[in-house]
Amino acid sequence: MIEEHNLNVLICGDIVEWGMLPYVRDAAQLGFNRAMLIVGHNLTEEAGMQLLTSTLQELTCDIPIIGIESGEPYIYC
């Protein structure tokens, strides 16, 4: 898909590190304009969980539905 659509940047949630990442790294080192942004599992699911919360609230009416953000689980130094 990268070659077919001539993609320069991939924005991913979860990836298989041993598959896609080496391809992008090798392509960049060979001079191809390729990069990858790995957003992560938790952050890419937040929007869907917010939508689920509002959808469940519409279905249950009297039962309060509260979404709790998980936030970034890692600390980077």
Helix count and strand count (H, E) for the chain: 3, 2
pTM beyond 0.85: the answer is no
Q: Distance (Å, rounded) from C-alpha 19 to C-alpha 7? A: 17
Q: 């993609």: which residue's tokens?
A: 7
Domain annotation covers residue 68: no
Q: Distance (Å, rounded) from C-alpha 12 to C-alpha 24? A: 13
Boundaries of domain holding 33: 2-60
Domain annotation covers residue 12: yes
Domain annotation covers residue 37: yes
pLDDT at 25 (0 to 100): 87
pLDDT at 30 (0 to 100): 92
Please tell me the number of Cα atoms within 13 Å of 58 on its side-chain side: 5
Judged by phi (left if over 0) then psi (alpha if -120 to 50, else beta), residue 39 lies in alpha
Count up the domains in the chain and report the number.
Answer: 1
Domain annotation covers residue 36: yes
Domain annotation covers residue 71: no
- Taking the chain (77 residues) in runs of 10, the rounded mean pLDDT of each run is 84 76 87 84 79 90 84 69
pLDDT at 77 (0 to 100): 67
